[in-house]
Amino acid sequence: MDDLARLISVEEIKALKARYFRGIDEKNRPLLESLFTDDVTLDYRGAATDPSSGVNAMPEATEAVLHGLKTSVDAMMRSIEGVVSVHHGMMPEIEITSERTAKAIWPMTDRLKFTGGGAVAELTGHGHYHETYERISRDWKIKTLKLTRFRVDIVLA
């Protein structure tokens, strides 16, 4: 893969991840469905738990690894029902590992405001996405995602 093709892929993966953040925050199901491989694996385990209190703000989406496009998007859509969410990605480390594969470490912050009347009012989290990508015909897609955390703060309602 030449230098120009690699740069183009890096830029396309950045735009892919930008659509991931917008897809969640807009609760945009078709956009989310366009982001992942059919065999995607999403691992958000532990990502909604405040280590100081042990409270888990999103048990359904964070207690098991999600497998497959439909299951994953279903779980994502359910987890943001009644939530005003803001997800931001910062400076990534992206490595193109072949013409059809890539990986990245992506710093992130999310701010969730729960409006459904449950026990949790707000969650603010900071961590890294550890991701791999696959190029399916023309388009880069997210193949695996694991979210690790430095810090999760939960405000009870």
* Binding positions for a second copy, rule: CB under 8 A: 3-4, 7-8, 10-11, 14-15, 17-19, 21-22, 25, 84-86, 88-94, 105, 107, 109, 111, 113, 126, 128, 150-151
Least Å distance, CB 110 to a second copy, is: 11
For residue 26, how many other CB atoms are within 10 A of its CB?
13
Based on CB atoms, which residue is closest to a second copy, 68 or 107?
107
Q: Can you give the C-alpha Rg of the chain in angstroms? A: 16
Q: Which segments within the chain are labelled E, that is strand? A: 36-43, 66-67, 83-89, 93-96, 101-114, 120-136, 139-156
* Identity of residue 20: Y
Least Å distance, CB 88 to a second copy, is: 4
β 139-156/36-43 pair status:
parallel
Based on CB atoms, which residue is closest to a second copy, 2 or 137?
2
Based on CB atoms, which residue is closest to a second copy, 128 or 143?
128
